[in-house]
């Protein structure tokens, strides 16, 4: 049985990657007005301060009646700050104008500008994991986790005094690349991990001319868009999903996934699973190269 995500995280979140500085503001305003309550950012996205400004607008508005506790805010430790994780966290809190984060992730298993094979990478990520655990004890973050970590990276963390129980794992997930996520769920079944997927559209592959007819067929039969089909597949597998669009109609369609995902049958899920049988195709950064 697929294990569901932590019940407190809204299952559909707004991703803000590539929305630098003021570019994030109109998208975030539209998303919050539509009902998004899960916002995903990172220090390296260069938009935390702007997100913080927009959130203050909503907190001060009588029209929407939104308080900090109504939102789930995720940020991430930059690879450039791996040696100073506590200071990096405090900077993110200040930029976002919040006393705590709902989730703080180690963004990448290596230090920026260090060779992937450097033994320093392991030392730094283990030390950072200890700092994140201390920050959780102090109430600066409510949940912690990692992004773009492999099974082996997670195993290292699981063997520390802190362990990985109840941690979050954010990673690239789409029909062409999902088996690593499934392996993590299987190998660490007893640790109560919550999975969050990004790049669900496979960096544009879903919308390309060679999109599998299978997905097109499911979309036509269910009256969903191709995007909704893939997002529904991911949710049916128990993963939270990060979505991004600057189009209000698409933002609304993405947010509707919890209501429409049961349109997909078990056979649909199995068929989409099989798209990658001929070989998986990773579209984003590859942590498997990091020692």
Active-site annotation, residues: 45
Pairing of strands 72-77, 38-40: parallel
pLDDT at 1: 40
Write down the pLDDT at residue 211.
82
Residue 174 assigned ligand-binding role:
no
Residues sharing a CB contact under 8 Å with residue 194, sequence separation 6 or more, in sequence order = 5, 6, 9, 145, 166, 167, 168, 169, 240
Which uninterrupted H or E stretch holds 4? none
Measured CA to CA, the distance from residue 113 to residue 7 in angstroms comes to 37
Query: What is the model's pLDDT at position 5?
Result: 67
Amino acid 280: pLDDT: 86
Cβ density class 99-112: b for 16+ within 10 Å, e for less = ebbbbbbbbbbbbe
CB atoms within 10 A of CB 232: 25
Q: What is the pLDDT of residues 149-175, one digit of tens each?
A: 999 999 999 999 999 999 999 999 999
User: CA 249 to CA 170: how far, in whole Å?
Assistant: 26
- pLDDT reported for residue 4: 63
Q: pLDDT under 70 in the chain at which residues?
A: 1-5
Give the 3-state secondary structure of residue 174: strand
Helical H segments across the chain, by residue range: 24-34, 48-60, 85-96, 120-137, 151-158, 179-187, 213-222, 226-236, 248-255, 257-260, 266-273
pLDDT per position as a tens digit, 175-206: 999 999 999 999 999 999 999 999 999 887 77
- Alpha-carbon distance of 235 to 174, in angstroms, equals 11
């Amino acid at each position: 049985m697929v294990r569901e995500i932590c019940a407190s995280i809204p299952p559909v979140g707004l991703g803000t990657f590539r929305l630098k500085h003021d570019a994030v503001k109109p998208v975030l305003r539209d998303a919050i007005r539509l009902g998004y309550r899960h916002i995903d950012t990172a220090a390296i996205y260069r938009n935390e301060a702007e997100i913080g400004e927009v959130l203050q607008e909503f907190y001060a508005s009588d029209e929407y009646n939104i308080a900090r506790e109504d939102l789930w805010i995720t940020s991430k430790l930059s690879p450039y700050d791996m040696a100073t994780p506590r200071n990096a966290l405090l900077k993110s809190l200040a930029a976002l104008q919040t006393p705590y984060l709902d989730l703080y992730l180690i963004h990448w298993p290596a230090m920026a500008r260090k060779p992937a094979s450097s033994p320093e990478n392991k030392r730094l990520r283990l030390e950072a994991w200890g700092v994140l655990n201390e920050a959780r004890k102090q109430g600066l973050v409510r949940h912690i986790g990692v992004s773009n970590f492999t099974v082996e990276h997670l195993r290292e963390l699981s063997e520390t005094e802190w362990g990985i129980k109840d941690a979050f794992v954010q990673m690239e997930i789409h029909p062409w690349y999902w088996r690593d996520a499934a392996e993590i769920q299987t190998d660490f079944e007893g640790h109560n991990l919550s999975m969050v997927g990004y790049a669900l559209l496979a960096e544009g592959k879903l919308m390309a001319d060679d999109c599998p007819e299978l997905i097109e067929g499911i979309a036509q039969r269910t009256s969903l868009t191709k995007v909704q089909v893939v997002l529904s597949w991911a949710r049916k597998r128990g993963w939270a999903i990060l979505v991004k669009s600057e189009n209000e109609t698409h933002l609304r369609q993405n947010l509707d996934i919890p209501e429409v995902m049961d349109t997909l049958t078990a056979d649909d899920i199995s068929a989409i699973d099989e798209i990658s049988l001929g070989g998986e195709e990773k579209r984003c950064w590859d942590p498997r190269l990091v020692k």
